[in-house]
Amino acid sequence: MFTGLIQTLGTLKPLGEHQLQILVDPSGRSVICDDLALGDSVAVDGVCLTVEQILPQGFSVDVSPETLKRTTLEHQLRHQIPVNLETSLRVGSKLGGHFVTGHVDGIGYLQASIQTATSWEMTFSVAEPSLSRYLVSKGSIAVNGISLTVAQCDRQHFTVAVIPHTYRETNLHHLEPGSKVNLEGDILGKYVERFLEFTPPGTPVSASFLVEHGYL
């Protein structure tokens, strides 16, 4: 489990078949690596991966063909685009973003990025229609592992306002129109959706009902 608050950037390097080396940026290496252990989870551009080796400049992970197929990691590797890094949430740590699982739901594409006086307004298209049902105005979404708030949305697009710090300290400033991103919808919406699938037709569902049954 992660928060969507990026700690630093890294670079992907091939390291054997279905294995990647993540070189952590020197400025944030201590944040990621100081207490990193074998078997730990790290979100790499929003993809939850398991640490297989601790290396002098970072760590290595195994990546399945399915993960490469369903995420942007292969693209980031091929074009040497920096990836966002976040270690897993520790018990008792502050939760400044939202709950992010690191299980990518699908791919999105940057449509436009406009700088305003206070932020960058970034609009993304959603490649898979099934993802659209998790888009809620003022709700949360993870873009390349970054916890962002949806400002506007429809069935195919959503817009987020990114503060200068987040834009500067993540790989969002490397994106150009057409760039691919990993998307993960809010897990709360997925639990509610699953709950409603098993709710008998006609059953009144309210916020108090969801709380009572442990969904909120």
Q: Model confidence at 208, in pLDDT bands (50, 70, 90)? A: low
Q: What is the pLDDT of residues 50-70, one digit of tens each?
A: 999 999 999 999 999 999 989
Lowest mean pLDDT, pick from 58-62, 167-171, 204-208: 204-208
Query: Average pLDDT for residues 155-170, to the nearest whole number?
Result: 96
Does the structural domain 106-191 have CATH classification 2.40.30.20? Answer: yes
Percentage of the chain with pLDDT > 70?
88
Q: What is the DSSP track for 126-148?
A: ESSGGGGGG--TT-EEEETTEEE
Element (H, E) at 161: strand 157-162
Torsion, Cα 197 201 206 211, to 10 degrees, reads -50
Q: What is the pLDDT of residue 210?
A: 59
Mean pLDDT of the chain: 90
Q: Residue 193 pairs with which residues in a beta bridge?
A: none
Query: Average pLDDT for residues 165-189, to the nearest whole number?
Result: 93
Torsion-angle region of 101 (φ positive above 0: left; ψ -120 to 50: alpha; else: beta): alpha
Q: Where in the chain is the domain with CATH 2.40.30.20?
A: 8-87, 106-191
CATH classification code of 8-87: 2.40.30.20
Residue 209 has pLDDT above 80, yes or no: no
Q: What is the pLDDT of residue 134?
A: 86
Query: Average pLDDT for residues 183-191, to the nearest whole number?
Result: 82
Q: What is the pLDDT of residue 205?
A: 60
Q: What is the pLDDT of residue 162?
A: 97
Residue 171 has pLDDT above 70, yes or no: yes
Q: What is the pLDDT of residue 187?
A: 79
Q: What is the pLDDT of residue 140?
A: 94
**CA–CA separation, 157 and 12 (whole Å):** 29
Residue 215 has pLDDT above 60, yes or no: no
Residue 48 has pLDDT above 90, yes or no: yes
More confident: 192 or 81: 81
Residue 216 has pLDDT above 60, yes or no: no
Q: What is the pLDDT of residues 87-145, one digit of tens each?
A: 998 776 777 788 899 999 999 999 999 999 999 999 999 988 788 888 999 999 999 99
